[in-house]
Chain A
Amino acid sequence: MASIAARARPAVISTDLSVERKLAGINIFIAFAALAVGGLMGVLQILRYNGLDLYTPSKPLLPGGYYQGLTIHGVLNVLVFTTFYIIGFLTYIFTKSLNRPMASSRLAWATLWVMVTGLVLAAIPLLTNNATVMFTFYPPLKADTLFYLGLTLVVAGTWLLLVNMILTRNAWLADNPGQRTPLPAFMAIVTMLMWTISTIGVASEMIFLVIPWSLGLVGGTDPVLARTLFWFTGHPIVYFWLLPVYISWYTLVPEQAGGKLFSDPMARVSFILFLILSLPIGMHHQVTDPGISEMWKLVHAIFTFGVFFPSLLTFFNVVASLEYAGRRNGGEGWLAWIFNLPWGKPEISAQIAAMMLFAFGGISGLVNASYNVNLVVHNTSWISGHFHLTVGTAVALSFMGITYWLVPHLTGRKLWSRGLAVAQPWLWFVGMGLFSHFMHELGLRGMPRRTDIGGAPYLQDEWRFFLFFAMIGGLIMFVSAIFYYLNMIMTLTRGEKLAEVPDFTFAKALSGPEDAPKILDRLTVWVVVAAIILIINYVPTILDLLSTATFDVPGRRVW
């Protein structure tokens, strides 16, 4: 009744978020469907590393074997799962925090449809072994054009969300003059700003290099230029995955743990620093590339170290918030308050388990970024070990943890099994801990990544021991995934209908936004700062590559 009354009087702003709730549900559903397929491919890989070949029996479904499976694993897990989840989650968190729907519900639906169209287009060549090029699709590997078109549409869809967010925030600011943007909405829009700026790289790669070349409009391409544009987006993308997780850690976990956020100003500062520093660092993925000067590799390494600072601010702020919660729940001592956190809540145990493994992922990430130390680890399985802790745990496990409260909230159904939900994160923690530890070890012993090691003539005897334990870890993760999916499917189909839809609130802050300098909310200023640093760090290299490029490398289908 209240909402009908609200609609009758245009002066009252609608608080009806039903469109956003639907969009969140659909996006998150697509995300986890993709993760199920992508994750299953991981199981085939780790078995194959240990000599158990399931590719031969699955040949009708997976004609490209290991490498097709690996491409599916990468594309679905780090491109599809993450992007769809994030777009759904941010749409809802942003509007919930402003307590008003998106400025344009049509644009919000268009975001979904553009992305879904892209996904379908890309999935056709991917599943038919016509795009076995890994999620990095480095030219001159040449996939079917649909693959490139599809991925470009998925990215273009995400831009629509930013447009909608800007319109919505401007309207909110007009209705609430002089007020600070609530922290979750602030963080959501900063995330989308950073991501959209970063996509200039991959969008230019697709539109100017790859798509015309794959259509045969031009005869050749320039692989180093393509790689540089790819990594222009390819490192910021990891912050696009992480920042939504930080939104949960900063603005939801403290409340769920029974406490408050330690510092709102510090959180705003860290997100502004992420906006500026996430962007100009992609070349640390290209430390071993010819054609790029040593100096710019070093500069990008230094800027990557810069991101360590807001990461540690985040660590401090989130742990301080947890400590506050632990003490409020009756905890005492230097560390004993940890036991007073509500470990029986699956959203809490999942996200704290994710934080713990992420600390190690952060450390191995620093190693990767460390200029000449990168020579030891580049393109070895160390790298796979690293990002299974970051995107594979900090991000994926937190996203699972969030669904333990978000799915009941969106569907009005009670979680089918709380027991399974509490056990699942710890299985993931142990499985991933084992898997990634041994992948790091194997990398240090020279095992290359993205390689069908089970079929490699140079498989070293000393690798076998580590491969076995990596497999054990992988299988534990598989069990964890079964727990998760079983629970979610049962919740959606058989979950008890709750009489009242459980609502949620964002965490209050011990030190609130009134303590934060106003300039932090002036996003245009920070976008300009970010753009200037980005231009300085990239334009010389891109101009140099453009001036020497001959665009004469023909495409190849080598699978």
Chain B
Amino acid sequence: MKDKKFISYLFEVAWILPSVAIPVSMLVAILITAFAVGVRVPTTAGRVSVSAVAAGADSTFSQTGLREIAPGRYEAIITAQTFMFTPSKIEIPAGSKVTFILTSKDVIHGFRIEGAPINVMVIPGQVSRVTATFDKPGEYLFVCHEYCGAGHHVMHGTIIVN
């Protein structure tokens, strides 16, 4: 009887240890990739007036498009609205590091680049700011991934890396 109790105790320990060890090791992996490797998630990047953006009166978002801020270093100012991104085509040389600065003129949109670690919500009144480096030449599709109305499925664009 004592043996049986001990065995069931062993089973419980054998279950509980991995139950703790699995999430803890996953957490460690996340912390390493976030803070040592630098795969970070979007964070607060300021507010913006949605009416000013829509009227073209906002200093940042009145001039959409790509600009080089240093050699190999770019900023892409993009606005989202039903059902398009402006601009929807961006061309950069391979090896470029691009910071995407986005906002929405109307409802919530999404911005995800296939093949790059970029995935961010684009919310009216908020600035989204995300950065990625494009080493491999090719065409990168980006899509709006948040339902934004009847034409949501046509909302997309491309990044061409030469």
Contacts and interface: CB of A to CB of B under 8 A. Distances in A.
Most buried by B among A141, A287, A379: A379
A374 B41 contact: yes
Contact of B41 (A140, A294, A302, A306): A294
Contacts of A297: 41, 43
Interface string A352-367: 0000000000000010
B112 A448 contact: yes
Nearest to A371: B30
Contact of A558 (B107, B112, B145): B107
A224 B125 contact: yes
B120 A290 contact: yes
A175 to B, nearest CB: 36
B80 interface: no
B73 interface: no
B44 A372 contact: no
A371 B112 CA distance: 16
A492 B152 CA distance: 43
A289 B50 contact: no
B147 A288 contact: no
A538 B107 CA distance: 25
A552 B125 contact: yes
A285 to B, nearest CB: 11
Interface in A281-330: 286-294, 297-298, 301-302, 305-306, 308-309, 312-313, 316
B51 to A, nearest CB: 7
A455 B112 contact: no
Contacts of A372: 30, 33-34, 39-41
B125 to A, nearest CB: 5
Interface string B105-141: 0111010101101111111111111000000000001
B143 A375 contact: no
B82 interface: yes
Contacts of B156: 456-458
Interface string B33-65: 110000111111101011100000000000000
Contact of B30 (A308, A370, A450): A370
A305 B112 contact: no
B101 to A, nearest CB: 10
Contacts of B145: 378-380, 448-451
Contact of B127 (A290, A308, A449, A554): A290
B148 A291 contact: no
B70 interface: no
A371 B107 contact: no
Contacts of B30: 301, 370-373
Interface string B4-19: 0000000010010001
Interface residues of A, number: 64
B149 interface: yes
Contacts of B106: 140, 556, 558
A398 B107 CA distance: 37
A532 interface: no
Nearest to B50: A553
A374 B39 CA distance: 11
Contacts of B152: 67, 450-452
A227 B123 CA distance: 10
A458 B150 contact: no
Given A376-B119, A456-B154, A371 B42 contact: no
Contacts of B114: 445-446
B146 to A, nearest CB: 6
B126 A291 contact: yes
Contacts of A294: 40-43
Contacts of B143: 446, 448, 451, 458
Interface string A423-452: 000000000000000000000011011111
A305 to B, nearest CB: 4
A334 B156 CA distance: 53
A138 interface: yes
A552 B34 contact: no
B41 A291 contact: no
B19 A458 contact: no
A291 B119 contact: no
A141 B22 contact: no
B49 A550 contact: yes
B69 interface: no
Interface string A461-505: 000000000000000000000000000000000000000000000
Interface string B80-122: 0010000000000000000000000011101010110111111
A222 interface: yes
B27 A375 contact: no
B1 interface: no
A67 B141 contact: no
A313 B147 CA distance: 37
Contacts of A370: 26, 30
A113 interface: no
Interface string A227-271: 100000000000000000000000000000000000000000000
Contacts of B19: 308-309, 312-313, 316
A134 interface: yes
A107 B124 CA distance: 43
**6 closest Cβ contacts across the A-B interface?**
A558-B149, A446-B114, A448-B145, A379-B145, A305-B23, A294-B43
Given A65-B150, A290-B126, 14 more contacts: A138-B107, A141-B147, A141-B149, A287-B42, A288-B42, A290-B43, A292-B43, A308-B22, A374-B41, A379-B119, A379-B145, A446-B143, A552-B125, A558-B106
29 contacts: A141-B147, A222-B125, A223-B123, A288-B110, A289-B121, A290-B42, A290-B127, A291-B123, A294-B42, A297-B43, A306-B23, A316-B12, A316-B15, A370-B26, A370-B30, A372-B30, A373-B30, A379-B112, A379-B119, A380-B112, A448-B144, A448-B145, A450-B147, A453-B153, A460-B141, A550-B47, A553-B124, A553-B125, A558-B150
